Amino acid sequence: MFANILALTYAKPVETQRALIYLPIHQNPNSFVRLVVKARRDPAALANPIRREVASLDKDLATFNIRTMEEVVGLSLAQTRFTSTLLGIFAVVALILAVVVV
């Protein structure tokens, strides 16, 4: 059974959780279907076999934007990490200025 999971993906981990709706894919056709694969070995090594398998099912179906979960989480935290780093730099500069001026 294939199903669309609506309102499940969050842009940022700090977003509040919303209601989830599970619908069969045939009731809600969507051009943005994601395939998630759990791997016991290097997930990046599975990219080409997955592409070949998808192509064997439908040669016109494009596979793109293949990422590991670490990359997805890293990208979702990038803005927060940048903001925290920038705030830390400003705090150090303010501390230095406070020491020098006094």
Cα 60 from chain centroid?
Answer: 25
pLDDT (tens digit per residue) in 29-85: 776 777 888 888 888 888 899 899 989 988 888 888 888 888 888 888 899 999 999
Torsion angle, CA of 32/11/22/40, rounded to 10 degrees? 80
**C-alpha atoms less than 13 angstroms from C-alpha of 102 in its C-beta half-sphere:** 6
At CB < 8 A and 24+ separation, what contacts does 86-90 make? none
pLDDT (tens digit per residue) in 8-34: 455 566 666 667 677 777 777 776 777
